[in-house]
Chain A
Amino acid sequence: MAIIAIANQKGGVGKTTTAVTIADGLARLGKSVMLVDLDPQGNVADSLGVDPGGDLNRAISNNMTLQDVAINVHDGLDIVRSDKTTVVLKSKLAGMDFREYVLVNAMDDDNHDYVIFDCAPSIDVLHTAALVAADYLIVPTRLDQFSVKGVVEVLRTLSSIRRFSNSGCEVGGIIPTFYDRQTVETQEQLENLVSTFGELVYPVVPVDTNCRKAHRAGKTLFEFAPKCRALVGYPELPCGYMAVINRILKL
């Protein structure tokens, strides 16, 4: 089993789209996947066209496992939903001892091939707990100055968490999202990322309006536009989430 945390403290970089698309893609390749929404905005359920729910709060408040509360979306893909009750959960956890291990404990005897945490764009107890529980951290980032700075911040956070806990979480990769090949800024930021992080930089995900349209339709990219640019890349340059998923399979 591989546990992956998708995190970046900067908002709007495509964390939920990345988490949902990777989870859906892995499930379509025959893997069993559990996608856990740690963000009180509950966008994972919206993206999959499922009613929102407080599964995460229910599991942790009642000492249940995540697997107990997960709902099946389609073959191979289970999700643990989040909603405003996650805010209540976070304040409850704030006063608890060993709160950083809450997700480790909630995954006792889990038998999925992949567990993916979609983290909220903030540093909170669940974000820390996800990095303690995860084997790999994957950081989606837009190719602009503030977002790339967010990558450095999340890597610093991981480094601190590794110091105070026995987390074995490694940096799995950095996914450049919203890649727009028309702008020089995009190219410069990509050059910058690659010169700093080398092979940790995954193939780019091109900017694609199909992502927004798929969210509105409550469908995943694989269902809504299986040949769209964000999934398969450009005709002369195959990249996008398919190439990202291929890298994840090699983790």
Chain B
Amino acid sequence: MKRKDNGLIDLTAIDPVVEATLSQGRRRIAERSLPKDERKKTIREREKAAKRNRVMLDIDPAIMRDLSKLAEHYEISQSQLTSLALVLFLNAIEKGELDILPYLKPINNPRYSYVVNWNK
């Protein structure tokens, strides 16, 4: 707890968690006092902003299962675990520690030239 030079507690300081609670509460109240149309617009914009971080990928069910088990084990969300895995993967490629070429198999497809063969 912050103290002033005279040893007294500085009551102007605020716990950061309490500050976040207050600002979220203020935002909620401000939103509630908006006219119906504007409120809907704000909610739509928030949902849109949240969707910007979402991607839809086709992933093998076995990988999904392993990911889910690991996320449960570490008590974290699957999204965060996937993000971590991708960061580690991208870093490894950038540093030249990982080469994905051995995993690529040519295919006859108008859109893609290769398919990934990830069998362990």
Contacts and interface: CB of A to CB of B under 8 A. Distances in A.
A95 B9 CA distance: 38
Interface string A182-203: 0010110011001011111111
A203 B17 contact: yes
Contact of B2 (A179, A191, A199, A201): A199
B54 interface: no
B17 A238 contact: yes
Contacts of B12: 198
Contact of A190 (B9, B10, B11, B22): B22
B14 interface: yes
B56 interface: no
A243 B17 contact: yes
Interface string B1-40: 1100000011111110110111011101100000000000
A238 B16 CA distance: 11
Given A191-B22, A239-B21, A201 B29 contact: no
Interface in B42-84: none
Nearest to B32: A184
B9 A199 contact: yes
Nearest to B33: A184
A199 B21 contact: no
Contacts of B22: 187, 190-191, 194
Contacts of A191: 22
Interface of A: 171, 179, 181, 184, 186-187, 190-191, 194, 196-204, 236-239, 243, 247, 250
Given A181-B25, A187-B29, 12 more contacts: A181-B28, A184-B29, A186-B25, A187-B22, A187-B25, A190-B22, A194-B14, A194-B18, A194-B22, A201-B15, A203-B15, A203-B21
Can you list the 9 inter-chain pairs with the closest CB atoms, starting with the nearest?
Answer: A198-B11, A203-B17, A187-B25, A199-B13, A201-B18, A239-B17, A204-B21, A243-B17, A198-B13
